Structure 1
Amino acid sequence: MFDINNLLRDNIKRLVPYSSARDEFQGEASVFLDANENAFGSPLVQAFNRYPDPMQHQVKLRLSQIKGVPARNIFLGNGSDEAIDVLFRSFCNPGVDNVIIVPPTYGMYEVSANINDVAIKKVLLTDGYQLNLEGIAEAIDDNTKLIFICSPNNPTGNSINRDDIETLLANFHGIVVVDEAYINFSRQKTFIQELTEYANLVVLQTLSKAWGLAGLRVGMAFASEEIIEVMNKVKPPYNINEASQTLTLQALANVEQVNAWIKETLEQRDKLVLTLKDMTFVRDIYPSDANFILVKTTDAKGIYNYLVDNGIIVRNRNNVELCEGCLRITIGTPEENNKLIATLQQYQ
């Protein structure tokens, strides 16, 4: 049985969060003399002299409409990396607790664990890049607080079997974090729809990928109201700046444009896969539900350096376990993809 009080750090249970000026007053007023701001404005065309909404109410309301989940079940972070860090700081006692990750996977889980002095248990994915449920079950102990599952997975690109994730949710008494940074490109449905079924589920998403807002640093966590309340208590008071909130609201009004880009990205991905398959140095291209592909080659380092010399940057994943010989290639514009193909054809 999941009980959040059995997971929370004792100091977080006792924590009285910082109360900002914008927390204490909400509403309309003509004169604000409460937050020690510069009343004269900003040395910019647009004024940013006032602190932003600490709980990002307008952005959450718009996301609520798009995602079909109540605003009270949404946490916004300075990228999803902040949401990851907040989960560590909320639930994991440094030097005592541990988390499980399933390599190859997104590297920030391990970095955040190390920053927070939380032990990491690694259970490798299978050769088919799926969960090793038996290995995960063996790794869980009384101090295991979080399990991180990236689906679609980075760097492999594939979606993790949904039934396997639900098995973890049903049997693990800690929190299962499903990172869906690439869900907009996937054939699989989001786990957000399962929030009412699993109290121990946290779903991470981002506006950095399909939405094209990587420079604004806006990540999302979706969870039960009690988990979101804890995360809001732990986060810095003004973690999403006013410029990011304003521009995010403008972007969220353009769903049709984003959907068109997603469609074109998937078309370009399929074209790129077909072309690369015929190249002699390509050994395999793994199935992808993301906006990138993982390509196994005969000489990842050599090809990577050759592309760098020609002004094309991909990601060398050769040193990642189970990704030996692999390059991770993001799907670009048609022009960028054509340049990549033409350059690689000269390599053969």
Structure 2
Amino acid sequence: MNVQDLIRPTVKALKPYSSARDEYQGNSDNMVFLDANENPFENGVNRYPDPQQRTVKSLLSKIKGISQQNILLGNGSDEVLDLIYRAFCEPNQDNIITLPPTYGMYSVLANINAILIKCVQLDENFQPKVENILEIADSNSKLLFICSPNNPTGNSFETKSIERLIQEFKGIVVIDEAYIDFSNEDSWIIRLNEFPNLIVTQTLSKAYGMAGIRLGICYASEEIISVLNRIKPPYNVNELTQQKAILQLEQNKITKQQVQAILNERDVLVDKLSEIGFISKIYPSDANFILAKVDNATMRYNQLIEKGIVIRNRTTQPGCENCLRFTVGTPEENIILINTLKTIQ
């Protein structure tokens, strides 16, 4: 596959904006910067941030075992996804394929960018219908979104199914791995070199506990990363976000400990939820949440709201009728949830 054939002509012809910090990339020690019209009085954030977030990427490179040239960072995963749309999808012409029930922003971003959405619902086990997906794809199908582990179902997709889709889909395959740190499955970033049309997105919002700083990560070939760098805003990741990310990534051991604690609590929560009379099914989870089928999702959701507990009602999602999604909280929060569920009728 030639990725160049998938890039929008206007993006190919684009001359990207060159910021002051892009033009000078040398050692900044003892340098006098009079190039960017900044306020010269030092306060920690008076200078523009590194537009390529080199220190953050260096830490991610070591943790993930992947070259910095294969990494792009964004203001949350939503910005990363939007850049992918703008790089590869021609408005009012191209289409994308989603696999509901899945993350809702894929469709929102498609609508914002005037891109047709084609949907192939997951099967009864929440696995992709590979034949149907490949059949519905046409020459204008530029992006296929695969969320694994999937939100809101929590399960990972079968490796063979994903592999075949990457090999046979004629566009870009985006695997959203927001919850991969909670799964026993390997990340697809270890196979980037095999597939020129593969993009893997991750985030610091879940396992790393950094939802408040909005930092999304894109892993792809150098060719794709260079295309996305051409169209990203020059300073899309601010200095405070970079500083907080660096501190957190330098404490990767703590992150691993927290992930294990969440996994332990997930197991406890599954056992306790199974004792609740109006919960009829608990779906397997590779994420930090649990999807459960109840007798009346809207009623149970409202009852919990009245008790001061906020969960997610997923009953309107395809295949998720009367399903609630419970995020795994602290041991104390989970006890409150279970005790409350036992009191409502």
Superposition TM-score, scaled by structure 2 size: 0.98
Please provide the CA RMSD for this pair.
Answer: 0.8
Does 1:196 find its partner at 2:193?
Answer: yes
Distance 1:319 1:138 in 2: 26
Residue in structure 1 matching 2:135, options 128, 133, 138: 138
Letter in 2 for 1:239: N
Distance 1:30 1:93 in 2: 43
Name the SS for the 1:321 alignment partner: coil
Q: Which residue of 2 aligns with 1:18?
A: 17
Q: Which residue of 2 aligns with 1:281?
A: 278
Q: Which residue of 1 aligns with 2:32?
A: 31
Quote how far apart the aligned CAs of 1:170 are.
Answer: 1.0
Q: Which residue of 1 aligns with 2:319?
A: 322
Name the SS for the 2:193 alignment partner: coil
Q: Which residue of 1 aligns with 2:92?
A: 95
Quote how far apart the aligned CAs of 1:41 are.
Answer: 3.5
Q: Which residue of 2 aligns with 1:66?
A: 63
Gaps (5+ residues) in structure 2? Answer: none
Distance 1:233 1:215 in 2: 26
Q: Which residue of 1 aligns with 2:344?
A: 347
Q: Which residue of 2 aligns with 1:4?
A: 3
Does 1:222 find its partner at 2:223?
Answer: no
Does 1:307 find its partner at 2:308?
Answer: no
Name the SS for the 2:90 alignment partner: coil
Q: 8 Å contact 2:134–2:168 — kept in the other structure?
A: no
Residue in structure 2 matching 1:148, options 141, 145, 149: 145
Q: Which residue of 2 aligns with 1:75?
A: 72
Residue in structure 2 matching 1:297, options 294, 298, 302: 294
- Percent same amino acid among aligned pairs? 53
Letter in 2 for 1:287: P
Distance 2:129 2:47 in 1: 50
Q: Give runs of aligned pairs for residues 112-123 of structure 1, distance below 5 A.
A: 112-123=109-120
Distance 2:306 2:195 in 1: 49
Distance 2:237 2:335 in 1: 37
Distance 2:25 2:200 in 1: 29
Bigger Cα displacement from structure 2, 106-115 vs 28-37: 28-37
Q: How many residues end up aligned between the 2 structures?
A: 343
Distance 1:59 1:255 in 2: 13
Distance 1:78 1:122 in 2: 27
Distance 1:61 1:341 in 2: 42
Letter in 1 for 2:292: V
Show CA shifts across 1:80-127 (max 9, x none).
111100000000000000000000000010000000000000000001
Quote how far apart the aligned CAs of 1:267 are.
Answer: 0.8
Superposition TM-score, scaled by structure 1 size: 0.97
Q: 8 Å contact 2:94–2:115 — kept in the other structure?
A: yes
Quote how far apart the aligned CAs of 1:30 are.
Answer: 2.8
Letter in 2 for 1:328: R
Does 1:55 find its partner at 2:56?
Answer: no
Quote how far apart the aligned CAs of 1:173 are.
Answer: 2.0
Distance 2:336 2:286 in 1: 23
Name the SS for the 2:326 alignment partner: strand
Show CA shifts across 1:184-242 (max 9, x none).
00011100011011111000000000000000111101000000000111110000000
Quote how far apart the aligned CAs of 1:26 are.
Answer: 1.5
Q: Which residue of 2 aligns with 1:269?
A: 266
Q: Give runs of aligned pairs for residues 152-231 of structure 1, distance below 5 A.
A: 152-231=149-228
Gaps (5+ residues) in structure 1? Answer: none
Letter in 2 for 1:64: S
Q: 8 Å contact 2:314–2:322 — kept in the other structure?
A: yes
